[in-house]
Chain A
């Protein structure tokens, strides 16, 4: 596949692996006190695991998996809101696939579907729009998930609905904003990240400027990264070069896609349809001020939160569920007591075991399971002895 295969070339991966090892030799970090690099985006976590990239890195580098997985940070209460909307007899509830299995307080969307709700998986918001055209007597709701990557597609779809004069199409808007989320990690006293891999497709939309605050205010280097294995390895190499040379800036590794100024039509569409929320809840990070977007008042006719009654309750996770700590990188998936026991991909307790981009699912599906379970047991023994 063009523009994919070339960025998986094992020979170039080997060259990068060697360069990375050489640079780490110049830094004081060890396996006991590793350099902590965070890949923010769930898509990057997925690539890391699929290609065994952590194993290619010296043990003096540890990749910390960030909260950039929209399904993983979906709070339980929000899933309950989806179920309430979906169970309305007049509604066709449409969603991306991975959101369907996230557990709510009583049920997931998949379980609600089994119980008779009209819930349909779609690949694109345009598919949901088509359903609205074809079913004028039903109310079609699209569960709008994602960081800035999916905001243009959602916004353009709503603008199309308005242009066609549809009255039976609405968004349940759960779009998240990247900069406040990264800032929450940087402000957290328990987190000590040395450098960041920035989400490549978010940057494709918003450009480089929104990440400037990271080197300027927090003095951490950040590299905008693509999604193939060579992209991630090259970004890690670029981060190490910055650290060794004492530089601290926003760099772009994903130059074949990301432009400094971002995507103009995408940004214009976002600006037309959405505005920043005063605050928004994310699993694990709590409620962040000036984060997340909602629809502007002039689009009220396409806003499910305005058209329908939504409980909007804050629901805490069960006590044993440590999704919150894993999602912000405070603990590794195997350090959660439920990992591999009560929480598995077949019967997930939390969102991180559901999503293909979730750290727990990645560890479970691609990691050495017996080894991880042994590490988990050792960790629990240490905790109970302490």
Chain B
């Protein structure tokens, strides 16, 4: 029930009824975009957005910057770990 999948909006097909075409790994389907549309972000602006698709609805825009930040934090965790391991291995005492 919680299974959402990322996809990219490629076309707004019905601006009045807030329907768009989304591409999910090459598969295309219609989704309702009511949850991602606002005054600041009208239907036309949604083309190109990466969104989380769930039961035929685009539920949320995926924030590319935040995704990058998360991956960066995780990469740094690994780098610190590698540093510590290297220090441990080269310790002469």
Residues of chain A touching chain B, judged by Cβ–Cβ distance below 8 Å, are: 1-4, 6-7, 9, 11-12, 14-16, 18-19, 41-44, 69-71, 96, 98, 123-127, 145-147, 149-150, 152-153, 156, 160, 199-202, 204-205, 227, 230, 234, 253, 255-259, 263-266, 269, 357
Contacts and interface: CB of A to CB of B under 8 A. Distances in A.
B56 A201 contact: no
B2 A1 contact: no
B3 to A, nearest CB: 6
A47 B5 CA distance: 14
Nearest to A70: B1
Given A3-B62, A204-B52, A265 B37 contact: yes
Given A71-B1, A258-B60, A357-B1, 9 more contacts: A15-B81, A19-B81, A41-B2, A98-B1, A160-B17, A204-B59, A255-B66, A256-B70, A257-B60
A211 to B, nearest CB: 16
A201 B54 CA distance: 10
7 contacts: A4-B6, A70-B1, A227-B4, A234-B74, A255-B63, A263-B35, A266-B35
B15 interface: no
B59 A201 contact: yes
B44 interface: no
B67 interface: yes
Interface SS of chain B? mixed
A124 B57 contact: yes
A248 B48 CA distance: 39
The 3 closest A-B CB pairs, nearest first, are A124-B56, A43-B2, A15-B78
A257 B25 contact: no
Interface of B: 1-6, 17, 25, 32, 34-38, 50, 52, 54-57, 59-60, 62-64, 66-67, 69-71, 73-75, 77-78, 81
Contacts of A6: 67, 71
B77 A43 contact: no
B60 A255 contact: no
A19 B63 CA distance: 26
A19 B54 contact: no
B2 A127 contact: no
Nearest to B69: A255
Contacts of A42: 1-2
B13 to A, nearest CB: 13
A238 B50 CA distance: 27
Q: Give the residue among A3, A152, A205 with the most B Cβ atoms within 10 A.
A: A3
Given A69-B1, A227-B2, A256-B70, A264 B59 contact: no
Given A1-B25, A3-B50, A123 B56 contact: yes
Contacts of A4: 5-6
Contacts of B75: 12
Contacts of B17: 160
Contacts of A69: 1
A5 B89 CA distance: 32
A1 B70 contact: no
Contacts of A125: 55-56
Given A256-B67, A266-B35, A18 B1 contact: no
Given A3-B62, A156-B57, A43 B1 contact: yes
B59 A263 contact: yes
A39 to B, nearest CB: 11
